[in-house]
């Protein structure tokens, strides 16, 4: 993505630039809404708009891999999130732009942060949007700020789907990497309580759990979680660890493309094709060693390209809604997930990256 800064904000003191009056939006969203000038390295239609709450104090969580972590150096406004720039815009200006471009929009997602005002401000922003725009809305929630009645209120004010950023897929990794917030509350059990409540309130396939590949988990850990979520009719959304400079995990390498592609394929086979854990075998380190399936069946799945697209919340008609380009890689790097259907040349690269002969009989 090539972008040029074009500030739309008036001069204002810091207090005037916080949510709910101001929000940050991904650079891709800013370009799609013509709030910034720029272009993508490949032409495609972008209809998913991503918002992020903004506070002077920032997020009170301190996750070791996150660009918004409380102890990462720098002011919150200057910090990156999933290595993507997030310009600050006035909320009412943003709603006006979304109303103007509504026919092209497929999904709106509001990302909360761990902050005392996050729930109240998320409700405020959601109401402003739903008063003007009919595009489906998701909220990526901050579980430490929630209880069941707050999830119920989200649904009553027009929220369509809930996302939960579990990220670390085992309790040990969660405790090691996702440092508890000052008041306590960033806890493994609490996250799963919110998963259970959200599933009951929003219903089947209206909840997604974000999983991050590359934090130190095994492939077996990931696939076990994919099966458990699928059995509860909960989506698993994949992100690829991409180290943030100055974060506590800045020196940890990202997973190889081969591992990433195989995890993408396995998640798709589990969630979409109904595969169970018994159809995968693992080596002594928990790495994916074999897929118990015919080569032709796997080739058919690979040929569609769907397994390697960004898996995000769908649009109102079931089409890809949130495609978050560059969420798992930099613009100058090879695509990790595709915000569009991969072309024939892309599929050829994917096949080489998968090395299917090693894992499929």
Q: What pLDDT sits at residue 105?
A: 97
The DSSP annotation for 101-139 comes to TGGG--EEEEEP-S-TTHHHHHHHHHHHHHTT--S-EEE
Mean pLDDT across 315-340: 83
14-66 per-position pLDDT tens digit: 455 999 999 999 999 999 999 998 877 677 778 999 999 999 988 888 899 98
pLDDT at 12 over 60: no
Element housing 43 (H / E): none
Residue 354 pLDDT: 96
Q: Which residue has the higher pLDDT, 8 or 36?
A: 36
- Which has more pLDDT, 43 or 297? 297
Could you tell me the pLDDT band of residue 361, with boundaries at 50, 70 and 90?
confident
Does the pLDDT at position 6 exceed 60? Answer: no
The token duo for 148 is 């069941």
User: With 60 as the cut, is the pLDDT of residue 4 above it?
Assistant: no
Q: In this predicted model, what pLDDT tens digit does every residue of 216-272 receive, in sequence order?
A: 999 999 999 999 999 999 999 999 999 888 889 999 999 999 999 999 999 999 999
**Residue 330 confidence (pLDDT) above 90:** no
Task: Tally DSSP H helices, then E strands, for the chain.
Answer: 10, 14
Query: What's residue 69's pLDDT?
Result: 84
Helix, strand, coil fractions of the chain, as percent rounded to 5? 35, 20, 45
> Quick one: how far is CA 253 from the chain centroid?
20
Q: What average pLDDT does the segment 149-176 reach?
A: 96
Q: Tell me the C-alpha to C-alpha distance, in Å, between residue 91 and each of 20, 54, 126, 168, 275.
A: 7, 11, 10, 32, 43
* Rounded CA separation 22/12 (Å): 11
Distance between CA atoms of residues 335 and 342, nearest Å? 10
- What are the angstrom distances between the C-alpha of 205 and each of 50, 74, 302? 20, 38, 23
Contact assessment for residue 74 and residue 246, using Cβ atoms and an 8 Å cutoff: yes
Residue % of the chain over a pLDDT of 70: 89
Alpha-carbon distance 78 to 310, whole Å?
26
Domain boundaries, the chain: 14-256
Sign, CA dihedral 217-308-229-247, equals: positive
Do 142 and 111 form a contact (C-beta atoms < 8 A)? no
- Percentage with pLDDT > 90 across the chain: 74
Superfamily of domain 14-256: Aldolase class I (3.20.20.70)
**Residue of 219, 227, 222, 233 lying closest to 359 (CA atoms):** 219
Going by the DSSP 8-state scheme, the letter that residue 235 receives in this structure is E
Least confident of 9-13, 20-24, 154-158: 9-13
Residue 149: helix, strand or coil by DSSP? helix
For the ranges 77-81, 219-223, 347-351, which has the lowest average pLDDT? Answer: 77-81
């Amino acid at each position: 993505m090539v972008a040029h800064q074009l500030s739309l904000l008036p001069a204002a003191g810091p207090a005037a630039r916080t949510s709910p009056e101001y929000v940050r939006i991904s650079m891709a969203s800013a370009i799609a809404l013509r709030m910034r000038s720029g272009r993508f390295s490949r032409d495609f239609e972008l209809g998913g708009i991503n918002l992020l709450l903004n506070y002077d104090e920032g997020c009170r969580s301190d996750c070791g891999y996150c660009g918004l972590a409380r102890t990462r150096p720098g002011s919150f406004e200057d910090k990156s999130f999933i290595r993507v720039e997030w310009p600050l815009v006035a909320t009412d200006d943003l709603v006006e732009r979304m109303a103007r471009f509504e026919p092209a929009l497929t999904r709106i997602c509001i990302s909360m942060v761990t902050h005392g005002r996050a729930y109240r401000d998320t409700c405020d922003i959601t109401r402003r949007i739903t008063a003007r725009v009919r595009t489906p809305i998701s909220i990526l929630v901050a579980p430490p700020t929630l209880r069941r009645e707050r999830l119920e209120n989200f649904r009553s004010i027009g929220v369509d789907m809930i996302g939960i950023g579990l990220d670390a897929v085992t309790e040990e990794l969660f405790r090691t990497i996702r440092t508890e917030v000052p008041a306590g509350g960033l806890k493994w059990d609490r996250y799963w309580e919110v998963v259970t409540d959200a599933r009951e309130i929003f219903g089947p396939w209206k909840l997604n759990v974000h999983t991050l590949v590359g934090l130190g988990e095994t492939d077996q850990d990931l696939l076990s979680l994919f099966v458990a979520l699928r059995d509860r009719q909960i989506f698993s959304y994949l992100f690829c660890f991409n180290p943030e400079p100055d974060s506590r995990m800045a020196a940890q390498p990202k997973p190889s493309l081969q591992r990433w592609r195989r995890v993408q394929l396995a998640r798709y086979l589990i969630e979409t094709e109904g595969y169970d854990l018994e159809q995968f075998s693992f080596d002594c380190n928990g790495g994916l060693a074999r897929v118990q399936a015919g080569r032709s069946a796997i080739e058919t799945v690979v040929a569609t390209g769907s397994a390697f697209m960004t898996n995000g919340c769908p649009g109102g008609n079931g089409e890809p809604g949130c495609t978050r380009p560059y969420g798992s890689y930099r613009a100058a790097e090879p695509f990790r997930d595709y915000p569009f259907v991969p072309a024939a040349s892309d599929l050829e690269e994917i096949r080489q990256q998968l090395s299917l002969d090693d894992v499929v009989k």
